[in-house]
């Protein structure tokens, strides 16, 4: 599957605003400022398809990105932002859970974690919730370019042990150097091709493998 024209479709705040139809959805979840928007830009080879910000909690709506009317990337609001009020945190958590419970078209959940830090209690709650949902998922440990490549495997193992992951797909990832195969100890500081990136990240769903057309 070749994606030629990825586009932002809508920021939704209620179910009635969700796109109509039955396109598969790849849903992105993670704490505020973990890099979900940057992930969308990397995977689509676009610099600003998804708006990024250094300010945590920027994404408060559900953002839908249409991939040639073949599937959606769905960016859910980030959780765990320390400056959110208790009421806002509860609302955000309920909002995410409600979407996943009602989402008839969810084909894959991608949980993004920061490879530099131990999973937070919010991360662990989200991971447990995803497990109980019985929906297909993978875990991406983002911002792998921020640590030495020789430490990548050790940090991934630490996160696996913290979450108790024994069988789930978990991949180091960076918006700078894309997907990093397990066991790699030396990585050039250049982006991998989008086709390689996507095959690595979505190898757990062979029927829906796709590549992104390079931007001209």
pTM (two decimals): 0.78
Round to whole Å and give the CA distance between 187 and 43.
19
Residues 5-46 pLDDT 10s: 899 999 988 888 999 988 999 999 999 889 898 888 888 888
What is the domain partition of the chain in residue ranges? 2-212
Cβ distance 144 to 174 under 8 Å? yes
Q: Would you state the pLDDT for residue 2?
A: 64
Residues 184-212 pLDDT 10s: 433 333 333 333 444 444 444 433 333 34
Q: What is the mean pLDDT of residues 119-144?
A: 90
Q: What is the mean pLDDT of residues 49-60?
A: 62
Sign, CA dihedral 166-203-43-137, equals negative
Round to whole Å and give the CA distance between 212 and 73.
13
CATH level 2 (architecture), domain 2-212? 3-Layer(aba) Sandwich (3.40)
**What is the pLDDT confidence band of residue 1, given thresholds at 50, 70 and 90?**
low
């Amino acid at each position: 599957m070749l994606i030629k024209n990825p586009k932002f479709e809508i920021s939704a705040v209620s179910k009635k605003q969700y796109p109509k139809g039955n396109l598969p959805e790849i849903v992105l979840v993670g704490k505020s400022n973990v890099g979900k928007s940057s992930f969308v830009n990397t995977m689509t080879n676009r610099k600003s398809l998804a708006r990024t910000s250094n300010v945590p909690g920027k994404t408060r709506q559900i953002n839908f990105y249409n991939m040639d009317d073949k599937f959606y990337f769905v960016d859910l609001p980030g959780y765990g932002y320390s400056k959110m009020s208790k009421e806002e945190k509860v609302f955000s958590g309920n909002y995410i859970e409600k979407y996943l419970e009602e989402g008839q078209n969810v084909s894959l959940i991608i949980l993004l974690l920061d490879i530099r830090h131990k999973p937070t209690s919010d991360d662990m709650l989200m991971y447990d919730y995803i497990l109980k949902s019985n929906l297909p998922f993978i875990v991406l440990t983002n911002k792998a370019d921020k640590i030495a490549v020789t430490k990548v495997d050790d940090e991934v193992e630490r996160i696996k042990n913290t979450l108790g992951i024994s069988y789930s797909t978990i991949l180091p990832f960076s918006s700078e150097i894309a997907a990093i195969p397990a066991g790699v100890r030396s990585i050039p500081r250049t982006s991998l091709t989008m086709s390689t990136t996507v095959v690595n990240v979505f190898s757990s769903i062979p029927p829906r493998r796709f590549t992104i057309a390079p931007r001209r």
